[in-house]
Structure 1
Amino acid sequence: MQKAEQTSAPATRPPRPGHDAERASAHTPQRMPGRIATLLTLLLEQPISLYAAAVLRIGYGFLYFAFLLREFPHRDEIWGPGSPWTPTLARQLFDQTGWDSILTLSDSRAYFEVCYAAALVVSALFTLGWRTRAVSVLFAVVVTSFHARAIFMTDGGDNLILLMALYLVVTSCGRRWSLDARRARLRASAGTAVRLPPDQASGELRRHLRDARLTVITVLHNCGMLVIAAQVCFLYGSAGLYKVQGASWGNGTALHYALNLDLFQPWPELSALADEHDVLIALTCYLTVLLQVAFPFVLFGRLKYPVLTMLLGMHVGIAVFLGLPLFSGAMIVADAVFLPDRFYRYLGQRARRVVQRADIRKARTRTSADAALVPPQSGPAV
């Protein structure tokens, strides 16, 4: 009897090697839908990097506004009717490339001056974030028109600004640090929001349309920010890979040749002083290639912060030594897309604290000055 019970009892088998791995792989397909659902929720329901989008809007709007102001004395030679690249030649090039520009719609000088003034106004309004949805489209048209009109006058910086201007059209770059955000806060605090009658506000169709509109805006914003991040990664990665193929970057002499080009010598004495340090020049070449190639691979860890800091120093050096401030500024603003919103919120809090402390100091100084102006009161006569 006991032997029969022992025979019928199920035998306990030792665990097979890799059994846990098989179980984990069996549960992996079950976890994948959860991850996909999380990604879809993040993509559809919550806009990402709103502060970074605001920094991109402010940075590129200000850069282009400053660029137009800097070239104001030379506007006719670059984009106007008096340019060597005449409007007729530009239109012939457009027939081949498919570009277009509002500047070539007329050869009148008055028309060009109106377009230039409008471009300055649009750039300023885009920087301030006034009616950002409509102004972002106008800003993209302005950048595209001026870029296409003088396509042979580019230095790389306006190429990136052109791409970012097109990408920012689909983002919600006016939700933070803008006149639109300020107007929305004032409207919410004053309670002046337009309210529909209960029978209309509770309608299913209106509610679905509102939800669909918010979903579309969120998806477009998130996709736009992801495309901007991918564009910057592709830019750095391709630049690093191209440098690896060059012999001058491999032997550390590329910056030596760049510093001795007359076209990139805003301060010849400073360039000559930097060119005297051969070891430092070679190390800078190797570090530049390493940073650009490694950039797309360090974005999801803490290494991205020192890498972004070193890239900031590299772009400042390019602006100072090579005389390319527009290109350096465009790249520095593009790098801001990889900083989280908590970083920008912290900067905003610090800025508000500094302003509050300055106001308190002014109030104390004003109070002390007022007290010093009051004549001393004499005691009662005895």
Structure 2
Amino acid sequence: MPRFTQKLPKYRKHRASGQAVVTLNGVDHYLGRHGTKASRLQYDRLVAEWLASGRAVAPSSAPSHAALTIVELSALYWRFAQSYYRKDGRSTRVTPGIKAALRYLKDWYGREPAAEFGPVRLKALRARMVQDGHSRRYVNDHVARIKRMFKWGAGEELIPESTYRALALVEGLKKGRTEARETAPVLPIDDAAVTATLPSMPEVVADMVRLQRLTGMRPAEVCLLRPCDLDRTGDVWLYRPASHKTEHHDRARVVFLGQRSQAIVLRYLARDPAAYCFSPSDSEAKRRAAAHAARVTPTAYGNRPGTNRKRRPRRSAGDCYSTASYRRAIHRACDKAKVPRWSPNRLRHAAATEIRAKFGLEAAQVILGHAGADVTQVYAERDLAKGAEVARRVG
């Protein structure tokens, strides 16, 4: 197998001409007389430009504005997006949307010059998305992703700046002024539906649901809860997630846990401080233990515990729930309880609605973590006091 390396291309001597040379993406670049300071500076400049482009395009061999096709621009942007839109070592949910938008773009205009893609073609592509039955918000998001790619291309000097400026003039679809369908708003989940679903959930998932309903956490914040992230010095515990949605905006996130929330979390703290509190492997172990306790066949007969398991299963329970696995667990419980499916985001909406009705809009913003990044230290302290007071009264 080939050995991959991250080393820089070498500064070499071309024996026939006596010049220095460097090879970038299979293209030789001659730098002047070998060993001179000028050739070294030329080498440094070319390699720096090549690295700045993500090792994708050699500087002097980059396609001209007229020659670069949309397929080529999309390939370069996709390579950039995969490395840029990452969090905690994994791709974010942004990348699937980018891939879907680029698929639309390449299907119709893939072989066309990227510099010639203008507002009329973008509107035609948008109309196709509407005809395919996509919602107004979905279409606007895709159009924004396509504009963002052309903005990146202009910033990398791959296409003229005027191409992006022209596309930026295309406004998004307006509600009531387009044939694109509208999506239903995310409404708070009725507590009666939650109560009816809880008995059908695994114990761990049920506790996650109860905790999220009390605190208004995001689903990802519930999944990532660890003992080391909890400050238990006061009567109201403070949970500061190690990773959260708005951290790239330099915003702090604090979740307040009152007495009822603490009672739920307390059962999951007897573990390694860096281990996740709500673990699928723990949930699976509890399910197997419950099944074994309900066993009717004597252990001397039939399969003994553990003998009918695969040695190398294709899938096994992990150490941490993802937002997707958390949502699927809730959906399975809804199907089992014969309740219309609901998703964990609706728990956050329900908590926000209740807190706003009882304590006002500012309190809801504090609890949900919607404060701006430029607040002063005094305002932050007032927010903490208000959040603690809400947690004491709500539980």
| TM-score when normalising by structure 1 | 0.24
Greater relative contact order, per chain length (Cα 8 Å cut-off, separation 6+): 1
More helix by share: 1
Structure of greater Rg: 1
